[in-house]
Amino acid sequence: MKLEQYFVMLSSVFVVGQAIKCFQCNSGEVPECMDLSSNDTDSPFYKECQGNYEGNKPFCRKIFSTILYAETAKVVRTCGWIKEVNETIDFCKKADTDFITQMSCLCFSDGCNSSYHITPSSLLIVTALLIRFYIFK
């Protein structure tokens, strides 16, 4: 066998590139989707993003909606590929109406669309707000 044939055979064994893995579920259909840990990589919801992304690189998305008049919440975790702006870092935005509040987040690492977890910066903000309202009344 020629060297070129060995190279072709060997290169067909390895997969080039890696797709991002995201949690993909809807708590309206499967209640277990509401609370997922980022280290729950054995979850049936933790999947590689597959599909036609129109030439765009996929990312993970989490949309958390609260219906105020019904006092219910729902989360949708999925792969996304269309960004509003050229985001390259984790990003969240909030939208609300008189009846619904919605937090939409996108992120770029495996399993990053798990349940909310407190980061040092959000802990600092919460602490500052508590000090402001309870100590300086």
pLDDT tens digit string along 81-129?
887 766 677 889 999 888 999 999 999 999 999 985 444 444 445 455 5
How far CA 129 is from CA of 38, 93, 99, in Å, comes to 27, 20, 26
Which residues on neighbouring strands pair with residue 93, listed in sequence order? 104
* Residue 34 burial (CB count, 10 A): 16
Which one, of 128, 20, 137, 122, lies nearest residue 78 by Cα? 20
Split at pLDDT 50, 70, 90, the class of 58 is very high
**Could you tell me which CATH number the domain at 19-135 has?**
2.10.60.10
Give pLDDT tens digits for 76-90. Answer: 999 998 877 666 778
* Per-residue model confidence (pLDDT) at position 37: 87
Is residue 92 classed as helix, strand or coil in its secondary structure?
strand
Taking the domains of the chain in order of start, what are their residue ranges? Answer: 19-135
pTM recorded for the entire structure: 0.68
